[in-house]
């Protein structure tokens, strides 16, 4: 089974509207971390937001928030007030365990977001 699943086709959103990008994950670890990254056409991976498995509150960073539903094993990214510069690929990733010697990230396949003016 894939550890990170991102199945949405290309997403479109109108400028200034909110959009939700879906991510589900699979792990047997109790300790894990979930990340979202943005990759514009330039190729650089830009860190957006992090959620630890023991965090009780959903993470927020400016216009980004993470809708963490532990029982459903989902970690959806919500972007509020979309901007044209938000057009990019978005990747969900997991680190398991969240601390310790083995701390590589496992990425999903990504979702393309296009913001329409």
Partner 1 sequence: DTGVSQNPRHKITKRGQNVTFRCDPISEHNRLYWYRQTLGQGPEFLTYFQNEAQLEKSRLLSDRFSAERPKGSFSTLEIQRTEQGDSAMYLCASTTAGGAGGYTFGSGTRLTVV
By CB under 8 A, name the binding residues for partner 1.
Answer: 4, 33, 35, 37, 42-48, 50, 52, 91, 93, 98-110
Phi, psi angles (nearest 5°) of residue 68: -95, 115
Least distance (Å) from partner 1 to the CB of residue 42? Answer: 7
Which of 70, 88, 67, 62 minimizes the C-alpha distance to 20? 67
Phi, psi angles (nearest 5°) of residue 62: 60, -120
- 14 versus 99: smaller Cβ distance to partner 1: 99
What is the C-alpha separation between 66 and 78, in angstroms, rounded? Answer: 6
Q: Are 81 and 94 in contact (CB under 8 A)?
A: no
- 74 versus 112: smaller Cβ distance to partner 1: 112
As given in the structure block, the two tokens for residue 99 are 């601390």
Least distance (Å) from partner 1 to the CB of residue 104? Answer: 5
- 15 versus 46: smaller Cβ distance to partner 1: 46
Least distance (Å) from partner 1 to the CB of residue 91? Answer: 5
Least distance (Å) from partner 1 to the CB of residue 52? Answer: 7
Q: Within a 10 A sphere around the Cβ of 36, how many other Cβ atoms?
A: 25
- 14 versus 60: smaller Cβ distance to partner 1: 60
């Amino acid at each position: 089974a894939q550890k990170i699943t991102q199945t949405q086709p290309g997403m479109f959103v109108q400028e200034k509207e909110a959009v939700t990008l879906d991510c589900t994950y699979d792990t047997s670890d109790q300790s894990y971390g979930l990340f979202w990254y943005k990759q514009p056409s330039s190729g650089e991976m830009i860190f957006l937001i992090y959620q630890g498995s023991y965090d009780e509150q959903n993470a927020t960073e400016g216009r980004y928030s993470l809708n963490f539903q532990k029982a459903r094993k989902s970690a959806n990214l919500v972007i509020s007030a979309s901007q044209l510069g938000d057009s990019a690929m978005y990747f969900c990733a997991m680190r398991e365990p969240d601390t310790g010697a083995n701390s590589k990230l496992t990425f999903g396949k990504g979702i393309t977001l296009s913001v329409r003016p």
